[in-house]
Amino acid sequence: MQHWFITGASAGFGYELTAQLLARGDRVTATLRRPGALDALAERHPGRLAVVTLDVTDAEAVPRVVSAVFAAGRVDVVVSNAAYGLFGPAELLPEEKIRRQMETNLLGSIALIRAALPGLRAQGGGRLLQLSSEGGQIAYPGFSLYHATKWGIEGFVEAVAQEVASFGIEMMLVEPGPTRTGFGAALDLVDSTGPYADTVVGQLARALAEQQFPIRGDVARSVAAILSTMTDKKLPKRLVLGSQAHASIGAALHARLAELEAQAAIAAGADSRDA
């Protein structure tokens, strides 16, 4: 039986991960901003689910909560999952929503990881999963700030994973494609009319509002795939979930590599003559 610590567990990936872990006999400490969402699970699994109220944008609360969880015993896996989605043309996004996007997805995730590392190191290792997105490697118009947070946290995790590997700490980025969770319904849609109405941003805004955006991912199957990967002795740096994500990321990487290779002579020409 393992002990998992999961943020953002009230819905979507966090809720489904909590439910599947409890069903197989593990213990979970789950955090959410508003209490009540996990009451039914707590009743079905007495003694194996601890629920803690936490907003990851609260810089003082994050280390306090994380320290208390580790003080109570070993934590085998930490899952940074809390997220917020913002959509709209970059120049029209309100400043307060930009800050909320950055503070939740990027700064909140960084705070959680930094708070968890001392505990993982002290106990001799463990695993840390960061829920990212296909949007950590590709970009859709209208999601500029969301992508900024996902590309940002991916760079952070890739660097930190190298820093802590010698302590027995493994880190993995989880990159789902469009998945049937409550994320789309909770997406904060900024008005994309006006100058952007007839652009790709306006078209995508209408598709999202009318629920015409194609979504193939299944959250239960995605979580099952995460758990199956956790049985591997060594985690991959990135776990891509969904055929849409696999195809989109693959196409983006191939295009990026082709562009890079075409610049080989230009890159070499920037070297010092005596290098």
Which one from 80, 132, 133, 144 is the annotated catalytic residue?
Answer: 132
Which one from 80, 146, 222, 248 is the annotated catalytic residue?
Answer: 146
Residue carrying the six token digits 């085998």? 76
**Is 109 designated active site?**
no
Within 13 Å, how many C-alpha atoms sit on residue 42's CB side?
14
Q: Among candidates 27, 59, 61, 53, which has minimal Cα distance to 41?
A: 27
Tokens of 243: 């055929």
Residue 142 gets the label, from left (phi > 0), alpha (psi -120 to 50) or beta, of left
**Is 132 designated active site?**
yes
Within 13 Å, how many C-alpha atoms sit on residue 264's CB side?
4
Asked whether the CA dihedral 121, 126, 132, 138 is positive or negative, the reply is positive
Cβ-proximal residues to 146 (8 Å cutoff; 6+ apart), any chain? 85, 86, 87, 101, 105, 133, 135
Per DSSP bridges, beta strands 126-131 and 169-176 are: parallel
Beta bridge partners of 175: 240
- Exposed e or buried b for every residue in 62-79, given b needs 16+ CB within 10 A? beebbeebbeeeebbbbb
Tokens of 190: 């900024």
Cβ-proximal residues to 200 (8 Å cutoff; 6+ apart), any chain? 141, 142
Asked whether the CA dihedral 258, 261, 266, 272 is positive or negative, the reply is positive
**Is 237 designated active site?**
no
Which one from 150, 192, 222, 248 is the annotated catalytic residue?
Answer: 150
Catalytic residue numbers?
132, 146, 150
